[in-house]
Amino acid sequence: MRTMRTILAVIISSMLSFMASATETITSPNSNVITPAPSRIVVGDGMLDASRSLNLYIEGDLATDDLRRLSAAAADCGIDLRVAKRLPRKDYLRLSLDSQAELGAEGYALRINEQGVAIAASNPAGLYYGLQSLKAYIAHSLQLPYVYIEDAPRFEYRGILVDISRHFRTKEFLMRQIDVMAGLKMNRLHLHLTDAAGWRIEVESYPELTRYAAWRKPATWKEWWYGDRGHVWEGTDGAYGGYLTKQDARDIVAYAADRYITVIPEIEMPGHSDEVLATYPELRCTQLPERQGDLCVGKEATFEMMQAILGEIIEIFPSEYIHIGGDEASKGSWTECDDCRRRMQEEGLESVDELQSYMIHRIEAWLNERGRQIIGWDEILEGGLAPNATVMSWRGEEGGLAAAAAGHNVVMSPHGYCYIDAPQDAPYSQPESIGGYLPLEKVYSYDPAPATMSEDVARYILGVQANLWAEFIVTDEHYEHMLWPRAIAIAEIGWSAPENRNYDLFRERAVKIVDRMIEAGYSPFDLKNEIGNRPESKQPIEHLARGKKVEYLYPSRYYAPKYAAAWDATLTDGLRGTWTYADERWQGFLGRGGVDVIIDMEEVTTIHSIAADFMQICGPGVFMPCLVEIAVSVDGQNYTKIADIEHEVIVDELPSFKNFGWQGEVEARYIRYKAHRSSFSGFLFVDEIVVN
């Protein structure tokens, strides 16, 4: 009997022979089918008719669970299969495993020819991913092209965060998303289980976390957040909430494992713990008002609780990584707390950042002793990073780069590309959200480890993750609308090498995936009807003031450095803003002065219009001006006011844009444009002062 190595060698040899008689291509209809885009694809002449039955033959040293998973995945491909005890000469679907094959940990080779379909891999996950590529072909047509594919992921971590705290999602909902993830070869589902708005996992040692902290009166996060932020007991009339039982969680873990997806639980600490402190107030810091969001790191009871909870969590979730949050802790209460001050003194800690680091180090050591690793948001760098911690970089890439440079593993998830809670199309056409604009094309443009990154840093980049926070996402349909297709782009970023990525080809495939999802009862964003970016932003604008000098009248320059755009050149650079203020075109002003600038036209000019656009997105605190004044001068000393434009600023849900301008005829060299902030505390954003 031939050895498994010999069998695989024969398969690979036949695949190479096939390649020699085929033409490599990336643009034929039969090559732009699989998502994520494969590493290498060679299309030959001929078709295999998959409308007739194929014989399923699986060979290799496979565990019982893997045999079951792969058999189920093959049956799910959409073709009629019969199980074969021996390999037939033709009409077969052959899955061959050899752990020594040089195909990469999750790589596979797929061949389709006149004999049938053969998939080879060194790991069961690779065989599974090969079946997903076959399934993509079958979804395209039952006439399968003769093809050879050699494929492996670029990154080992390809994930999605699902926030079930702000608005609860059921086991069934999560399983539906796992199905889509599996088809896209994604392998990490990060569950945000705990946050101020609700605790969502059963814990037997602290049962009030699900009896009380999992429930609130207002159904929407927004009503709750802007209300009293209180919690109520389970069963209270009108209570909104829910949680995963331990059995629910085990079912999700098993369902994901059958699709080679690992579920990573997140238990927030020390911040974002309002619901814990509302339920167990003895863990608050001392001598402070009731409402607190940070656990008291000075109390030993805090560690007893977290360790008891994590002890139950690791019994349910076999994931190597346990996410411990670590983000956005205010740390303000710690400076006033007797227990925290005592802890700092006893441990020789000089700052509250070091106090947080003390907690992270201690929790890491506890989990390491039990064979687990911690992963946390990039704030865990503050005060000193725990020795074995992995960092999830969300506040841009800086934290991730710093961690990688220090030899720590990193998952890139910068908010500018991977926070898919912003609108993905013209905001006026989209459901309420956090604000901004993050279209599919921008998500797709992200590279977690560009060629400019040094190899010493790039080797620690584990992969990429999309995060979908649910503050404004009440329904399951809305959640799916926000998740897909942008998470499809994340899947391709995580799997496909940059040289194999092409947005136009990707978009063609994404449109078809979305259409199939809609047919299957999902609610993704309908990509084929995308409106696109703000029309004004698509081309530079020519006008009389373009390139002219702008003087900002306040010495401190009230535009915020974070939203400086092109600095002093912004308001006359000819570039109009997109749908989002974070595009480096809109200039943001924060402070009592509002906008007050003078444009020097360089010579006396006949002017017929002066105008500028402002935006309003109330969620993040961006408001229209309440008054715009426009004045002109010939000599720069004596100004004549030509417009007073009043505006009633009201709080609304959808982003809006408004032009504040004057029309007429005037001779002037200098133009003073002044926009006043309303009584609402927040930003003014303006993109260009257009003069004609």
Question: Does the pLDDT value for residue 25 go beyond 60?
Answer: no
Each residue's pLDDT tens digit, 451-489: 999 999 999 999 999 999 999 999 999 999 999 999 999
CA distance 440 to 529: 13
Per-residue model confidence (pLDDT) at position 29: 61
Mean pLDDT of the chain: 93
**Residue 507 to residue 509: CA distance in whole angstroms:** 5
CA dist., res. 573 & res. 518, Å (int)? 43
Whether the per-residue pLDDT at 24 is higher than 90: the answer is: no
On the question of pLDDT at 339 being above 80, the answer is yes
| Residue % of the chain over a pLDDT of 90 | 88
Q: Which of 146, 150, 140 is CA-nearest to residue 119?
A: 150
pLDDT in tens, 277-290: 999 999 999 866 66
Would the pLDDT of 20 be above 70?
no
pLDDT of residue 593: 75
Q: Identify the band that residue 101 occupies on the pLDDT scale cut at 50, 70 and 90.
A: confident
In angstroms, rounded to a whole number, what is the distance separating the alpha carbons of residues 475 and 496? 32
Distance separating alpha carbons of residues 609 and 632, to the nearest angstrom: 12
Annotate 586-600 with b (16+ C-beta within 10 A) or e (fewer). Answer: bbbbbeebbbbbbbe
- How many helices (H) does the chain have, and how many strands (E)? 18, 27
Tell me which residue of 159, 107, 164, 102 sits closest to 130, measured CA to CA: 107
Torsion over CA of 160, 164, 166 and 167, rounded to 10 degrees? 120
Q: How confident is the model at residue 573 (pLDDT cuts 50, 70, 90)?
A: very high
- Which alpha helices (H) appear in 261-374, and where do they start and end? 274-279, 300-316, 338-347, 352-368
- Distance, in Å, from the CA atom of 207 to the CA atom of 276, rounded to the nearest integer, reads 11
Residue 558's pLDDT band, with cuts at 50, 70 and 90, is confident
Please tell me which of 7-21, 110-124, 579-593 the model is most confident about, judged by mean pLDDT: 110-124
Bridge partners (DSSP) listed for residue 117: 93, 112
CB 359 within 8 A of CB 347: no
Q: What is the mean pLDDT of residues 554-580?
A: 89
Q: List Cα–Cα distances, 89 to 84, 92, 93, 333, 473, in angstroms.
A: 11, 8, 11, 73, 53
pLDDT tens digits for range 484-497: 999 999 999 999 99
More confident residue, 417 or 1: 417
- pLDDT at position 653 is 80
Residue 91: CB atoms within 10 A of its CB come to 18
pLDDT at position 16 is 45
Give residue-wise pLDDT tens across range 343-389: 999 999 999 999 999 999 999 999 999 999 999 999 999 999 999 99
Shortest CA distance to 187 belongs to which of 162, 164, 156, 163?
A: 156
Query: Which pLDDT belongs to residue 26?
Result: 46
Tens-digit pLDDT profile for residues 606-615: 999 999 999 9
CA dihedral sign of residues 509, 515, 517, 523: positive
Closest CA to 415 of 440, 446, 394, 444: 394
Query: For residue 554, what pLDDT is reported?
Result: 76
* pLDDT tens per residue across span 116-141: 999 999 999 999 999 999 999 999 99
DSSP 459-523: TTEEEEEEEE--TT--SHHHHHHHHTTHHHHHHHHHHS-GGG--HHHHHHHHHHHHHHHHHTT--
Specify which residues 410 forms β-bridges with: 391, 461
Task: State yes or no: pLDDT of 2 exceeds 50.
Answer: no
DSSP lists the bridge partners of residue 611 as 661, 690
Domains present along the chain, CATH in parentheses: 4-151 (3.30.379.10), 157-529 (3.20.20.80), 535-691 (2.60.120.260)
Structure tokens belonging to residue 36: 């994520």
Q: Is the pLDDT of residue 17 over 60?
A: no
Q: Residue 345 to residues 285, 339, 342, 447: CA-CA distances in angstroms?
A: 16, 10, 5, 44
CA distance 386 to 269: 15
